[in-house]
Amino acid sequence: MQHTILLKDNRRLSDRELLTARSICDEAVEWVQERPEYIRRHGIDPRFALPDANWSYDAPNEFVQLFRRVAEGDRQTLSHMRGLAPVFSGYNLYQVQCSEGLIAADLEFGEELDRQIEVRLNECNEIHVKEWQQLTYRIPRRFIYSPPGMLGEIGHDVDGVIVNNDTCTYQERVNLIYGSGLADWLDRRIEATGEVKICEIGGGYGALGHWFKQAYPEASYTIIDLPESLLFSRLYLSLTRPDVRTSAGFSQAPRGFRFIPNYLAEGLTEPFDLVINTLSMSEMSEFQVRRYAELLKQHWLAEGGLFFEQNQDNRPVGLQCAEDLFADEFPRRLSLKTDGQRYRNGNPNIWSMSPFHLEKRPCPAGCCGPVELIEDLGEFNLVRSSVYWGLRKDLGPTDPLTLEFKDEPPCIFAGTSAEAIKEKVCATARV
């Protein structure tokens, strides 16, 4: 196994960077405070502008608590920001396992944390290293996502890349862009105009934007997000890419990063070459998804732009299947799903208002790997793909990505530790 990258190996924030970060935190707090009045004054529908569904203030996740903690601008907190962002990936980076049932907002720092991380990495991260090696086989270096060693990034060093679960998640998305022919399409747009304009709806903590600016320096990259979430991506991208200009609101940042609170989205009427959404639209309300679709059709795709999205079917947990909603909205669709292919984060698609053609490239699958039944646990099966799954038998197949969901939300456990999954199954059986 390759050597571990721990918190002690991260580059520390300078005093100047800390001042930049605190200014970003202050502005994010102001955006949240000013939101109700802006919505009222401009007649914006609160059903679109306010956090809702999985991102509402009442949702059973740490979204609000994590925002409030990071927004305080404490040096230690900012230096561990990657460990305080599980709401964007569903993965607890420092516990090296699925974030379900874990609390990150009260994370305590200290030397003991690094020792615990090293143990967990050596116990649980090998499966992600193997997946990453499969995902990057014969992929050009330009299309390999490599997270910077700062802000609390941890993992194993493999060929100069810090590899963990999130590295694999973003590498899958980069592979889809590369293998679909979208990467070549963007290169042709740059040859024709000298730049590409990209908009990401829901930028998470900023990882995809970071890769795009490495692979496409000519890109002007806009992120639209809830101001609470925008804090994370703006901090991450401003601190890891200080060489790239940034702006907030409608101010332009040619070949840089621009951050726009979602309640300003209806005022953004310019076209983009590419619009992206991964994961978050299936976590929004249907009203919000359809309003974004209207903005895409009216403005953002108006000049032949493409919309790349990858969203899970969240109907089993009472949320949306964004793919089905988009099928009602857009006349042109290219499904990137391949027979027999399993994806970490739902079916990938490219949508458009006008005909388009992409030349696909051979691309390694990696992703979830073969499904293996490990152990019969009574009412559950213990299954291994890229992680371990505890699957209730009445769901049908043992493949976690082809489950036959029943009327009720299913009882499913996932993680990188087989023993932890077995403990959860046993606890469920006792109840």
* 340 and 255 belong to one structural domain: yes
From CA 344, how far away is CA 20, in angstroms rounded? 35
Assign residue 223 the CATH number of its domain: 3.40.50.150
Sheet holding 4-5, edge to edge: 4-5, 155-158, 161-163
**Full pLDDT tens readout for the chain, 431 residues:** 589 999 999 999 999 999 999 999 999 999 999 999 999 999 999 999 999 999 999 998 899 999 999 999 999 999 999 999 999 999 999 999 998 889 999 999 998 999 999 999 999 999 999 999 999 999 999 999 999 999 999 999 999 999 999 999 999 999 999 999 999 999 999 999 999 999 999 999 999 999 999 999 999 999 999 999 999 999 999 999 999 999 999 999 999 999 999 999 999 999 999 999 999 999 999 999 999 999 999 999 999 999 999 999 999 889 999 999 999 999 999 999 987 777 888 999 999 999 999 999 888 765 555 566 778 888 888 876 655 678 777 765 555 555 443 334 445 666 656 777 788 788 776 65
Whether residue 120 is found in the same domain as residue 224: no
35 & 84 share domain: yes
* 49 domain-assigned: yes
| pLDDT at site 422 | 81
Q: Is residue 157 part of a domain?
A: yes
| Sequence-distant (≥ 6) Cβ neighbours of residue 93 within 8 angstroms | 82, 83, 85, 86, 152, 154, 164, 165, 166
Q: Per the domain annotation, does 217 fall within a domain?
A: yes
Task: Name, in order, each residue with C-beta under 8 angstroms of 336's C-beta and a sequence gap of 6 or more.
Answer: 176, 179, 180, 347, 348, 349, 350
Residues 176 and 292 in one domain: yes
- 62 in a domain, yes or no? yes
Q: Is 235 exposed, middle or buried (0-12, 13-18, 19+ CB in 10 A)?
A: buried
pLDDT of residue 407: 37
Residue 90 lies in a domain: yes
Q: Domain limits at 328?
A: 171-352
Q: Are residues 157 and 244 in the same domain?
A: no
What pLDDT is recorded for position 396? Answer: 57
- Which residue among 133, 166, 199 closes a domain? 166
Task: Please calculate the CA angle 35-255-270 and round it to the nearest 5 degrees.
Answer: 55
Residues, the chain: 431
Q: Which of 139, 166, 193 delimits the end of a domain? A: 166
Phi then psi for residue 95, to 5 deg, are: -90, -10
pLDDT at residue 408, as a whole number: 41
Is 425 inside any structural domain?
Answer: yes
Number of domains in the chain: 3
Same domain, 188 and 162: no
Specify whether 314 is located in the same domain as 180. Answer: yes
pTM over 0.85, yes/no: yes
